Structure 1
């Protein structure tokens, strides 16, 4: 049967939304039945997607109360038309003003949720036939709610999923903010002086400060990723502090004075701002096996580059990995007078990454070290005895950098 499109009473024009709503209603299978309050809850969840306000929902809620059954069946025909007067509808909508009522009824029609079935004089009423059955009805047809129930349910599910993802993202950022703040505070207590914690606190402030007042999911995802990386970096430094303190020996270990026959090495150690102990090697069972281990699992590369910024000037394309740092250390080795044999021995004993960090640290303070090659060999011997750790060296260099930079320290590298 051909579709007959009904038009509104008076000066109201026929809009594409009204034509679309009547087409959807006509194509709805007659056996389709939905629960009206379930559909209403889905509309309430997806109201932003449908372009509706909360007052429009109140009007729709009032209209649904005029349909006596809970189930809405497409085959009811005129039985799905509700015909309350404006006064009765306004009363059930909690006393809404008539002008506001008309505006929100129009919004529901334009959203494709209602169809106007206007009488010749614009009044709403029904005409019953024999046996009391409804023959004609003029008012608001609820058939679009049946026809679009599945579509609206899909929209509502998407909105609920987005809201859930937003809540999870907010919770993640909140937890990471708490973790980062307390971990940085613990690192400051461990260091006891300005050091890596200052740079890390600046990173934290930059991430948090970039969040808008009402962050979108993309903002929260970006902030969560940055805060997770920051928490990992701070955690590595805290672990390094504990491992360094464990490897430094206990008070009951012998502190007998030993005369040093190499004064250049003593002055080189003071060049880093350190007072290294000149004691005999502690027993092997009292030295942490990771006290001076592979820095890749302990120190963030960004922290190493902030402590030794000079090495980056010799990297043609920047230092973005530990491999880049090792290549750059190999390049500056001849400038320091470090022989290939000394470099090879350092790589074998310390590991490539630790040797590269050590050479970068020596280069950073080269003007204070009389014999960089001899100093590297001495550090290799200390490493063999389990007496050398990169942690105090990097922390001393970081403090030196912070004392020379005006204002807040800056992070010069984009390394990960």
Structure 2
């Protein structure tokens, strides 16, 4: 039996660059290899490596993409590409399911033509702050309304969106290179909004005023009674209009699990509100419910300043902790003994020693001796004085 070495794979950054150069999405490449899109994401991020037949198929596909890119003369160095992606305008796509004709009424509005029509080659160079402000202005208003449907709390919705964008500003090089930065921020906002630790906050214990309309109150109550994974799946699929694979990838579940969650969520909503058994009617009502509340997002500079201030605080805290740790270590080395000092062993029982006993009764001779001693002078008997010869 002969053994063939494994086909070499390019680095994770090169794998992603080859896929984007060939204008392939992760689901398309995953379909060619025969794996899930989240598996391709893990391969491109370096969290895992393909094995066995998947490795061979993936390596051959990347080799073909590399040959096609070399023939077309479109290869560029990774450093040049990172510089372009960090300064170019971030374009955000609006996912819509195919075939049902739904439109995301409370999803992100189409970006302005001055932003979306320019390619990286023709668009003017923007600073990271300008690109972040464009992404925030594009996504934040709609994302606040989406998070409100997820939590039922206006304050928590605004806070979740701000924290998500603060995290995005901290990791801006990663977010700027992501093919779907709006999805990156949306996932971060949903994770913060659905965190179970909010229940222990004093602000969370106070109820907020419900929507004024009775039908809106009933729909919001049904949504909040759904388990968080079911509620999130229903909002992504029937609210935003994402496809089932994209919904499963964003909720970190398999496609079958996402389909089951969606089915059970629809059944729960239809059992309480029979008029919403139609997915299109449910989508319309979700959009109306999201538009009823007066939800406003903070300005982009405020979010960036809060992110930078938080980063400075954590940096100073880390420096202070390091200084304290170094000082404690130096003090320990200064006061520690320089030689080995054996510990004092604990006391033990000594065996073989006779026990201490009290004196018994005196004999007749002992009593006579005691009497003579008592009759002598206080200084004792007369002593012999030495004489010189």
Q: Give the TM bin, normalised by the shorter chain.
A: under 0.3
Question: If the length of structure 2 is used for normalisation, what is the TM-score?
Answer: 0.24
Question: If the length of structure 1 is used for normalisation, what is the TM-score?
Answer: 0.23
